Amino acid sequence: MRFNDAVFGVLLIVFAIAEIAYTRTFPTLHGQAYGPDLFPILIGVGFLITGVVLTVQGLAQRAGAPLIEVGDWAADRRNVVNFALVLLALLFYILASDWLGFIPTSFIIMVVLLRSFGSGLITALVIAALTTLGIQALFARVLLVPLPWGLLQPVAW
C-alpha cells in the first residue's frame, strides 16, 4: 500500500492542530512568560510546517496518480484477512484489556494471530503463553509499569 505524501501531510496537520489546541489547556506558571505548554506548542508548529510541506509536495508530484495505491498483496484474500485481524486485535486490546486484564487479552490476541499466520495450535499456545508472561514480568519487574490485571486482580503478584 502506497500513500501519497499529501495524505500524510493532511494527517500531520490535523494532529498538529489537535496537539496545539490541547496544550493550550495546560496551566500557566505565575510570573513567567512561558509555561509547560511552550515545548509541545513548538513541536506542534514543527509538525504543522512539516505537514504543509508534505501536502504541497504530494499534490505537486501527484500528476494524476491516485492518493492511495493498494499493492498486489490486497488481491490475496488471506492477506486482507490478516491485515484486518491485526487492526481488530488492536481494537480488542483497547476495549477489553481494562476489564479482562493484560494476560488474558494478550494471550487471546497472540493465539488468534499466530494461528491466522499459519502456526500450529500447540506452537501458538506455547509462544503466546511464554511471550505474554515474559512481557508481564518485564513491565512489572524491570520497567515498573503496571499492566491491567482485570479479572486476575485477586491473584495479582
Domain-ending residue, one of 14, 47, 69: 69
Domain-ending residue, one of 28, 46, 69: 69
pLDDT value at residue 107 = 98
Longest CA span, the chain: 64
Q: Which residues contact 146 (CB under 8 A, 6 or more apart)?
A: 139, 140
pLDDT value at residue 156 = 78
Q: Total structural domains in the chain? A: 2
Q: What is the DSSP-derived secondary structure letter of residue 143?
A: S
Residue in this structure with the C-alpha cell 490476541, named with its chain if needed: 109
- Mapped onto helix, strand or coil, the DSSP state of residue 147 is coil
Same-domain check for residues 50 and 103: no
pLDDT value at residue 30 = 82
pLDDT tier at 35, thresholds 50, 70, 90: confident
Cα(102)–Cα(132) distance, rounded to whole angstroms? Answer: 8
Same-domain check for residues 78 and 146: yes
pLDDT value at residue 125 = 98
Domain-ending residue, one of 49, 69, 89: 69
Same-domain check for residues 31 and 86: no
Same-domain check for residues 52 and 94: no
Same-domain check for residues 62 and 105: no
pLDDT value at residue 52 = 97
Same-domain check for residues 102 and 58: no
Cα(57)–Cα(76) distance, rounded to whole angstroms? Answer: 32
Same-domain check for residues 139 and 94: yes
pLDDT value at residue 39 = 92
Cα(33)–Cα(112) distance, rounded to whole angstroms? Answer: 53
The more confidently predicted of residues 37 and 108 is: 108
Alpha-carbon distances of 10 from 21, 40, 49, 57, 61, rounded to whole Å: 17, 19, 11, 12, 15
Return the percentage of the chain with pLDDT > 70, whole number: 99
Same-domain check for residues 58 and 98: no
pLDDT value at residue 109 = 98
pLDDT value at residue 78 = 92
Same-domain check for residues 96 and 115: yes
For the full predicted model, state whether its pTM sits above 0.75. Answer: no
The string of pLDDT tens digits covering residues 42-65 is 999 999 999 999 999 998 887 777
Same-domain check for residues 102 and 83: yes
Q: Which residues pair with 68 in a beta bridge?
A: 3
| Domain residue limits at 52 | 2-69
Same-domain check for residues 15 and 48: yes
Same-domain check for residues 150 and 79: yes
